[in-house]
Amino acid sequence: MSDFSMQSYVTAHKSIHLVGIGGVSMSALAELLLHLGATVTGSDRAQSAVTDKLSALGARITYAHLPENVEGADLIIRTAAVHDDNPEIARAHELGIPVVERAQAWGSIMLDYRNAVCVAGTHGKTTTTSMLTLIGMQCGVDPTVMVGSSLAAIGGTLRIGAHDCFIAESCEYTNSFLSFHPTVAVVLNVDADHLDFFKDIDDIIHSFHRFCALVPETGALVVNRDSANAMKAIEGIDRTCITFGTTPEADIYPENVTDRHGYYSFDVMYRGERFTHVDLSVPGHHNMLNALAACGVCVFLGLDPADSAAGLAQFTGSDRRFQLTGRMPNGATVVDDYAHHPTEMAATLKTAREMKYDRIICIFQPHTYSRTVALLPEFVQALSLCDKAILADIYAAREQNTFGVSSKDIADRLDGGEYYDSFEKISARVREIAQPGDLILTMGAGNVYQIGTDLCAQA
């Protein structure tokens, strides 16, 4: 449906059915459609706080995938994980009801906004999108926002604002972001990931190149000059380009950098002139780079430097991004982080090291078998940055273990690495070895955070 227009369905108050309505991005989409005046129905496997909220807003939700759920609908929206053999999709095709992907729906909605800032990259998308959200609110832009993790400042993953600016986290997996319509495309980095979909790093770079080429002539690219792959992705694209990085070779770069136990303060320079001074409220060198990317967007949009800095200072983190879980009874600090790619893991562990804990004990749950096989040496290298690595079973997500890989394969390659086949055994082991002054870091995109919750609950 290349000529698909979400606006035509919304303005006519058509019935729109979302298959998998309880997902992070789908639930945000459903809430926005309800706000815009559409009739919304949906289906999911299980009831949750998210679906309860949507029901209270007027959505009619069925907790099973049944063919009859789509009858009477004018449009079906599905996630990439829902295929043609789904009974609702099969029935929609029988009835001739149009079916579009979630990304297509979001992309069509973006066309109604004067500026669409799409934040892409293998790592840092949620944090940078969140930073830009706080900046936009502080600068009076009144942004509409779609972010991939709960942000306390907006009470979830969606903020409904005016039609001047849309800020959207933009994922490369299954080429979803190629359905978007960015006027500003941010490329934070480009690394090898999602190799269950992409062939290799060149395929990923090509995908980012196509994403950047979507920007109109009046728009801009904001790109990490420190990332060779990101710079390769924009080759041959004739658009306004603002680069950011750690050296003056970039358009946006830091000077007078100070690091107080992992929290960075610095002057933001733009082509040799001071743009503003920033004091970050989230730790890590990688977050200084994320903030510089956000400042690149601010420069292009003409946002006030002082308000931009104030917005950045207000950002204290997103859900599951170096988030404090609590403390164990013995005083050890427990933090959870969503990092599941070696580059992200290394950045998080380096941040933890800067915070001067006595020891870092990392409980890591790999995410998907395909990623574990493809990047096994890199996982070992990243986990070597902690003092003690404890491995949980691989979180399968959408996959079956046809690769013959185990978390033990990582643990066996680490000095002192340990593997346990249950969360209970891991909790018992950590309670045995943890000391006051330690940082216990639960890490991964699955449900590993439950171990941290258990450790803090044990009296």
**pLDDT tens profile 336-370:** 998 888 988 998 999 899 888 999 999 999 999 99
Contacts of 299 (CB under 8 A, 6+ apart): 242, 252, 270, 275
What mean pLDDT comes out for the span 131-151?
94
The token pair that represents 349 in the structure block: 């562990």
Catalytic residue list contains 125: yes
Region 410-425: what's the mean pLDDT? 96
> What pLDDT score does 196 carry?
78
Per-residue pLDDT at 2: 55
Q: What was the pLDDT predicted at 1?
A: 53
Reported as a single tens digit per residue, the pLDDT across 201-242 is 999 999 999 999 999 999 999 999 999 999 999 999 999 999
User: At 322, is the pLDDT very low, low, confident or very high (cuts 50, 70, 90)?
Assistant: confident
Q: Where do you find CATH 3.90.190.20 in the chain?
A: 323-457
Contact 218, 115 (CB under 8 A): no
Whether 384 shows a pLDDT value over 90: the answer reads yes
Q: What is the mean pLDDT of residues 10-29?
A: 92
Contacts of residue 345, Cβ cutoff 8 Å, sequence gap at least 6: 339, 364, 379, 382, 383, 385, 443
pLDDT category of residue 321 using cuts at 50, 70 and 90: confident
Question: How far apart are the C-alpha atoms of 19 and 26, rounded to whole Å?
Answer: 8
pLDDT value at residue 193:
78
Flag whether pLDDT at 147 surpasses 70. Answer: yes
Please state, for a pLDDT cut of 70, what percent of the chain lies above it: 99
Model pLDDT, residue 173: 81
Whether pLDDT at 458 is above 70: no
- CATH 3.40.1190.10 residue ranges of the chain are 113-314
Angle between helices 376-383 and 342-354 (to 10 degrees): 0
CA 369 to chain centre: 20
What's the pLDDT score for residue 318?
Answer: 74
Choice between 149 and 85, residue whose per-residue pLDDT is larger: 85
Given 39, 126, 333, 343, which residue is catalytic? 126
Question: Quick one: pLDDT at residue 320?
Answer: 76
The answer, yes or no, to whether residue 459 has pLDDT greater than 60, is no
- Give residue-wise pLDDT tens across range 169-179: 999 888 899 99
pLDDT beyond 90 at 398: no
Portions of the chain given CATH number 3.40.50.720: 6-101
Rounded to whole angstroms, the Cα distance separating 304 from 267 reads 15
CATH class of 113-314: alpha beta
Q: Is 169 one of the catalytic residues?
A: yes
What CA dihedral angle connects 47, 48, 49 and 51, to 10 degrees?
-50
Compute the C-alpha angle 103/109/114, nearest 5°.
125
Of the listed 31, 88, 101, 169, which one is catalytic? 169
Tell me which fold the domain 6-101 belongs to.
Rossmann fold (3.40.50)
Give the separation between CA 7 and CA 112, rounded to whole angstroms.
8
Q: What pLDDT was estimated at residue 262?
A: 83
Mean pLDDT of 137-156: 92
Name the residue among 155, 147, 145 with its Cα closest to residue 110.
145
Spatial CA neighbour of 50 closest among 128, 156, 183: 156
CB-based contact 391:426 (threshold 8 Å)? no
Compute the CA torsion angle 307, 216, 188, 149 (nearest 10 deg): 70
Q: Find the catalytic residue in 39, 41, 51, 125.
A: 125
pLDDT by residue (tens digit) across 272-319?
Answer: 999 999 999 988 899 999 999 999 999 999 999 999 999 999 998 877
Residue 83 has pLDDT above 80, yes or no: yes
Q: What mean pLDDT is reported for the chain?
A: 93
Decide which of 406 and 198 is more confident.
Answer: 406
Domain 323-457: which CATH class?
Answer: alpha beta
